[in-house]
Amino acid sequence: MITYDKLWETMKKKGVSQYTLIKEYRISPGQITRLKRNESVSTHTIEMFCKILKCDVEDIMTYKED
């Protein structure tokens, strides 16, 4: 299972809110909801978050065995 717990930690460290993602970077609220629920998202979405947060993939997601 892929989890996005690190995404929220990284956003907090970088001072980027969900509101900023939606308004400034035009990330859809649906994408944020999918990430909150640890649902699948495209690699394009992961890449966008890496660019916005200036971080690596491992700062956004982790793999945990079910």
What number is the average pLDDT over the span 32-60? 96
**What domains are defined for the chain?**
2-63 (1.10.260.40)
pLDDT in tens, 1-32: 999 999 999 999 999 999 999 999 999 999 99
CA dist 65 and 13 (Å) reads 27
For residue 46, the model assigns a pLDDT of 96
What is the CB-side half-sphere exposure of residue 40 using CA atoms within 13 A?
A: 3
Question: Residue type for 13, please?
Answer: K
Q: Which residues, 6+ apart, have CB-to-CB distance to 59 below 8 Å?
A: 6, 7, 10, 50, 53
For residue 66, the model assigns a pLDDT of 79
What number is the average pLDDT over the span 38-66? 95
